Structure 1
Amino acid sequence: MKTNRIIFLSPHTDDSELGSGGTISKMVENGADVWVVAFSKCEKSIKNSGLTDSKTLVSEFHNSMDVLGVAENRRITLDFEVREFQRDRQLLLDNMIKISKEISPDTVVFPSKSDIHQDHSSVYLEAMRTFKNCSMWCYEMIWNNFGFDPNMFISLNSSQIEKKIAALSCYDSQKHTLKKGYFNDSFIRGLAVARGIQCGCDFAESFEAIRIIW
């Protein structure tokens, strides 16, 4: 299956890397036109954490995209308020429709229906409405997923996994999440190994393929 123009929808600045960083790297290497949209810069969370620069996560996001090879003119950051996506669902939909018309993707990747985070679930619902004529994949975030059912695997090499880890290491402001485990290098490699075993390769990322248009 050839994917020419693909958009990764990231509710917050680090979600696309966590769920599909290796795949982003692979798609870039394969010559696809890769876009990443981060809907929230999480400025409220930054302020609440005690950091003085509200733009910290935006800078980290761009550093992360540099590692993965996403061109600077293929990155979109929006200003939705963290944990308030449900309140702003119509505006979220309007922005997605605008992005769809401007980019015309053939594939869109976003959080799973089983993701219990309120912002992630809102992105899922509005993406389903907006991109119904595209191939749609949902990425895995097992700490949020209740009932994730992978039916599609992207095989990755060790370099792509290391790029995913390096991209996530750009988020210095999120180092406290190491206590939760999902920013941990061993966890990232271990999950990639487990998904690789399921599909007969060394490393992989898994997805729920909602619709494949080929």
Structure 2
Amino acid sequence: MREIQRALAIGSHPDDIEIGCGGTIAKWVKEYGVEFYTMTMTQGESGGIPEVRMKEQEAAGRLLGVHKHFWGDYKDTKLPLCNDLIADIEGVINEIKPDVVLVHYHQDTHQDHRSVATAAITASRYTSNLLFYEGPSTYGFTPVTFVDITDSINQKYGALYAHNSQVSKTNVKNLLITQIAEATAIFRGVECRAKYAEGFMPFRFFL
């Protein structure tokens, strides 16, 4: 971890990052002093009021210790895989020069997630480490890299609750997003012998 000084997490919509790697962000910031940046490519207007969702995202970032948040200007559910998307991500990467980029896994039932994941592969081609995180719509995800988030799980929950307009929008009756996050963290924890963990699939990972 001494080699990682700056990191960038990218999501398609507000709350994607917190679901996929919120515990890792909180842990790396607190325990290792990593300067963490985040980038969201849409304002999540298909799932709520854009202004509300943007405020929720900024609040969640503060709870995790995020240094700065960047916004894309793409339409929710209509995020194209194109040169502009690659260039926008690459522009942020060139500005902050992260040692590691974390992004959606490209096998995902949401088209926006697939576009951002694929664009990030190209945009981060000169970055040493690229890790894919999982979310509720990810499929075929078999992590081989894990982060023990036992000590930061409550910060992850807090960041998810900051997305107040989205907490109960899971498409499953009476199931909260925090409950999905807990179940996933327990399962990944069992895989790596920790109480709670987040799993990642490396595209490129230097030890």
- TM-score w.r.t. the length of structure 2 is 0.91
Q: Deviations over 1:98-150 (max 9, x none)?
A: 11211111100000021121111001111011112220000011x31221111
Aligned residues: 203
Matches within 5 A, 1:63-212: 63-71=59-67, 74-86=68-80, 89-134=82-127, 135-141=129-135, 143-158=136-151, 160-180=152-172, 183-212=176-205
Partners in 2 of 1:57 and 1:184 — Cα distance?
15
The alignment partner of 1:125 has SS state of helix
Superposed displacement of residue 178, structure 1? 4.3
Work out the CA distance in 1 between the residues paired with 2:120 and 2:133: 13
Q: Is the 8 A contact 1:67 1:166 kept in 2?
A: yes
Aligned mates of 1:154, 1:175 — CA distance in 2:
24
1:10 aligns with 2:4: no
Asked whether the 8 Å contact 1:57–1:171 carries over to 2, the reply is yes
CA contact (8 A) 1:83 1:119 kept: yes
Q: Secondary structure at the match of 1:78?
A: strand
Give per-residue Cα distances to partners, 1:134-185, cap 9 Å, x unaligned: 20000011x3122111110001124x11111111111121134145377433
Change (3 A) 1:45 1:186: closer
Contact persistence 1:155–1:196 (CA under 8 A): yes
Tell me the equivalent position of 2:20.
Answer: 19
Distance 2:19 2:199 in 1: 12
- 1:125 and 1:185, CA in 2 relative to 1: closer, same or farther beyond 3 A? closer
8 Å Cα contact 1:139/1:206 also seen in 2: yes
Task: Mark the runs of 5 or more structure 2 residues left unpaired by the alignment.
Answer: none
Q: Describe the shift of the 1:68–1:137 C-alpha distance in structure 2 as closer, same or farther (beyond 3 A).
A: same
Tell me the TM-score normalised to structure 1 length: 0.88
| AA in 1 matched with 2:188 | R
Contact 1:168 1:183 in 2 (8 A): no
Corresponding residue for 2:33? 31
- Once superposed, what is the RMSD of the aligned Cα atoms? 1.8
Q: Structure 1: which 5+ runs fail to align?
A: none
**What letter matches 1:113 in structure 2?**
H
Q: Is the 1:93–1:126 Cα contact (8 Å) retained in structure 2?
A: yes
